[in-house]
Structure 1
Amino acid sequence: MTHLSISVIVSTYNSVDWLRKVLEGYKHQEYDHYEVIVADDGSGEETRQLIESYQTDYPVKLRHIWHEDLGYRRQELLNKVIMQAEYDYILMTDGDCIPRKDFLAVHAKFAEKGYFLSGGYCKLNMPLSKAIDEEHIAKEDCFDVNWLKSNGGLQSKNALKISAGETLATFLDFVTPTGATFNNCNSSAWKEDLIAINGYDERMQYGGPDRELGERLMNYGIKPKQIRHQAICLHLDHKRGYKTKESLDRNLQIRKDVKTQKLTWTDFGIVKKQ
């Protein structure tokens, strides 16, 4: 769907240096039918100032949707942002994932009614994450395997993913043993489908709320389509201080119930149970 309008939702929380690089990535897309919404889970003033500085000359509409920092509430915020998205097709990504110039064009190409798209990422180490600057993104140096190897190293599987041409990338997506799941770093779906399953389960914290959403989409009859070798983004390194055993265990139980009961709806989503 070459003229599909896409609402790109970028999740962030107090990570200004990484968000700057991500906004640069969306500034240099080959595709031009999109808006960017930064879904901000309570960041401070520095993040607001960064976004405002980009809004002055950004090539598309750049919006900042923020709520108060009351702890990890990303799923609650994402549900609000889904409802405020301007377009019928939504791409979910994170404020630590730099998109290649063809990223949105690939999502638009493969978007299809009855499907959601499942992408992945190329995980970078901290030296590489820090080495990338705005010029490297604009010139696509950071998507060049030789540049990446000479500036901090790169895993062989990521080198293959980044360097694969269209034919090889298509083949790799066909044969990959990795399941096509909904991944918040790089997945897209129709807004009406996300609303039909009541969005994200707001009981869930870090550790699989995106997968759970995808599992309900599949129970609803929406099929996944694998594009992990074609829709390329670089995942910048960071710590995960919000990861707890308690939240992981609770999330696993919720996902188990979704699978065994073939649930399509959550009572803890966009529409709250009365």
Structure 2
Amino acid sequence: MAEISEETYKIFETAYAFFNARLFEGALPKCLITFQRQSRLMGYVSFNRWKNKQHESIDELAINPEYFANFPLTEILQTLCHEMTHVWQAHFGSPTRNGYHNQEWSRKMISLGLMPSSTGKPGGKTVGQGMLDYVIEGGLFESAVKDIIREGFELIWFDTVSIIPKPPSQTASKNVSLSSVAADTLSVSSNHVKEIDLGVDMDAFTTAIEQSLLSDLPCEIVTSRPKKASSKTKYYCTNCFSQVWGKSGLNIVCGTCIKPYIQDT
């Protein structure tokens, strides 16, 4: 019998390899798949996040396991393919600003059988910062996901402390990605958050920011998450993921890592 961690993560490695072959012609590089329980975040890709002794770098693709118990397997795999499309664009396309889903990404998603939508339903915008998606009937993804499930693909372990509400059972949202569900009940532990007013001039850190952005191993994070309204903007460090709040448009760096804080979208 396989070890618990091995069999749990192997399932997603198998799914990644399957969809890579079926939807991306096997072109995507290998990546490290992890489980992350970040607030309001269903999945993300962090580029060049991991590095070995040979100085080889690899991307990280993270999935939030708190959704496993309450969402159909198809929708979990839908989110996996959403993030895989970000991997494709990072290596073979032209991404724009962090977290933005541009026309190139949108066209690729449509070619795979997943329709981008700002609402998660037909008629939504197909590009934007917080982009959702739904399954295109008769498309490549629908066919591929039926085949992988028919072959016996299934999750073995489920998070029993899920705080994600079950999706509504309306026909309009039947094929909506789990990325489209508002997870307003999620919160960030106060032990890891510093809430401070950053209404100060941070020009002294401009040089450090520019140097870190020119690093040989950039760490860009693309997320799939619902939109939210807030009077303040959250920023997080691209290295240690410490978080702060302040007004929009600030240029700040982490005093510990000397890495730029990225504005949460």
Q: Which has the larger radius of gyration?
A: 2
Same fold (TM over 0.5): no
- The answer to which structure, 1 or 2, has the higher relative contact order (CA under 8 A, 6+ apart) is 1
User: So what's the TM-score if we normalise by structure 1?
Assistant: 0.28
